C-alpha cells in the first residue's frame, strides 16, 4: 500500500481580533494486493482525495473566541474492493466553534466551549447504511495546566 500527500495552509491576521485561514489536503492512496485482484490499485478506504477548510477566527480581550468555518470532503470509499465499494460524499459543511475563557491564571486555564457541526443540516449517507444526523452540538469544559 502506498500513500502520498501534501497539505498547505495559509492564514492572515487582519485585525487584532480577527484572522482568516484556509487549508487544503491532497492524498493519493493505492492498495497493492497481489492476492486479491479486485483490490489491486484501489484507494485506501476512508481516505478522501481532497479535504479543505476555510474560515474566520474572532478573538476578544474578554476571552471569547468565535470561529465559523467551511469544511469540504471530496468523498471516500467504504471498501478496498473495486467492484463492491461505494463512494460516500459529505460535500460542504458549515461548522462553528465557540469558546469562553472562564479562569486564566499562571497555574491553569478553564474554558467553556461549544462545537456546532453541520449547521446547514446536510443529511448525507454514510457507510454501513448509517445516515449523518445533520446538525449536532458538542460542548464542555477544557482544563489546561500551564
**Model confidence pLDDT, tens digit, residues 49-77:** 999 999 999 999 999 999 999 999 999 99
What is the pTM assigned to this prediction? 0.82
Residues 6+ apart with CB under 8 A from 62: none
pLDDT at 24: 98
Give the Cα separation of 98 and 111 in Å (integer): 10
Residue 114 has pLDDT above 90, yes or no: yes
DSSP state of 106: S
Domain count, the chain: 1
pLDDT at 130: 83
Per DSSP (E only), the strands in the chain are: 2-15, 18-30, 50-59, 64-73, 76-77, 87-88, 91-104, 108-117, 136-145
Question: What is the domain range of residue 42?
Answer: 2-145
Amino acid at each position: 500500500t502506498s500513500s502520498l500527500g501534501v497539505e498547505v495552509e495559509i492564514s492572515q491576521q487582519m485585525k487584532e481580533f480577527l484572522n482568516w485561514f484556509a487549508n487544503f489536503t491532497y492524498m493519493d492512496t493505492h492498495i497493492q494486493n497481489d492476492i486479491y485482484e479486485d483490490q489491486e490499485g484501489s484507494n485506501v478506504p476512508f481516505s478522501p482525495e481532497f479535504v479543505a477548510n476555510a474560515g474566520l477566527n474572532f478573538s476578544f480581550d474578554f476571552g471569547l473566541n468565535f470561529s465559523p468555518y467551511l469544511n469540504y470532503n471530496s468523498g471516500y470509499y467504504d471498501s478496498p474492493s473495486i467492484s463492491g465499494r461505494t463512494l460516500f460524499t459529505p460535500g460542504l459543511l458549515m461548522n462553528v466553534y465557540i469558546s469562553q475563557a472562564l479562569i486564566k491564571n499562571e497555574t491553569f486555564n478553564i474554558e467553556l466551549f461549544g462545537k456546532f457541526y453541520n449547521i446547514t443540516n446536510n443529511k448525507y449517507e454514510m457507510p454501513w447504511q448509517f445516515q449523518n444526523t445533520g446538525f449536532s452540538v458538542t460542548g464542555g469544559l477544557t482544563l489546561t495546566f500551564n
